[in-house]
């Protein structure tokens, strides 16, 4: 079986200019680069970039998929638009989530590995996933932390969080269609 690591980045808040695209081209000669995306699949060699650094500088979303079961999603959120205390309540008990501070932004990294998490992934095609995940970022910027709440609930289901633990977002309303698509990370 050949390896299939898929890297995709999406710029939402600020499109890439020509200088940005040239800098990204130096990282990968084979990547598809547009004013809003950087996408590449590596079959024979490793990605030379550092995803966190690319997120800090250019991108708002990042998806990494590998056919051996690893899935990683990074979401960059401006600090001023996020209630950090609510976010921390949702993610503190979930070992697959890390919140990093980067200047005026938070980068939330969610990494799921089928071997470690007990979640199993089958689909290795990453095309179009970021488009379906982008509304979750928009929701988070509008105060809807349902994505992180759903991940907390998943940790409860897996026994990582006690069944009787205090819910991080008590009184949360029905989940939106975008929140329900969190299964994208588990396929």
What's the longest Cα–Cα distance across the chain?
52
pTM for this entry: 0.81
Dihedral sign, CA of 81, 147, 84, 51?
Answer: negative
Residue 84 dihedral angles phi and psi, to the nearest 5° = -60, -35
pLDDT tens per residue across all 187 residues of the chain: 456 778 899 999 999 999 999 999 999 888 899 999 999 876 655 677 789 999 999 999 999 887 777 888 999 999 999 999 989 988 888 888 999 999 999 999 998 876 544 444 444 565 677 888 899 999 999 988 888 888 888 888 888 877 677 778 766 655 566 655 554 444 4
């Amino acid at each position: 079986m050949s390896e299939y690591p898929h890297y995709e980045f999406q710029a939402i808040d600020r499109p890439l200019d020509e200088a940005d695209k040239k800098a990204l081209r130096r990282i990968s000669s084979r990547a598809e680069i547009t004013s809003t995306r950087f996408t590449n699949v590596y079959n024979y060699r490793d990605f030379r970039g550092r995803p966190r650094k690319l997120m800090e500088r250019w991108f708002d979303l990042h998806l990494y998929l590998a056919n051996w079961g690893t899935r990683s999603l990074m979401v960059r959120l401006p600090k001023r638009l996020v209630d950090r205390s609510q976010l921390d309540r949702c993610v503190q008990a979930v070992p697959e989530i890390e919140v990093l501070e980067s200047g005026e932004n938070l980068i939330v990294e969610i990494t799921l590995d089928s071997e470690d998490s007990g979640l199993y992934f089958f689909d290795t095609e990453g095309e179009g996933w970021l488009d379906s995940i982008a509304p979750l970022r928009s929701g988070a910027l509008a105060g809807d932390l349902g994505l992180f709440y759903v991940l907390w609930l998943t940790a409860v289901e897996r026994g990582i969080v006690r069944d009787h633990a205090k819910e991080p977002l008590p009184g949360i309303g029905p989940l939106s269609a975008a929140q329900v698509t969190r299964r994208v990370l588990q396929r």
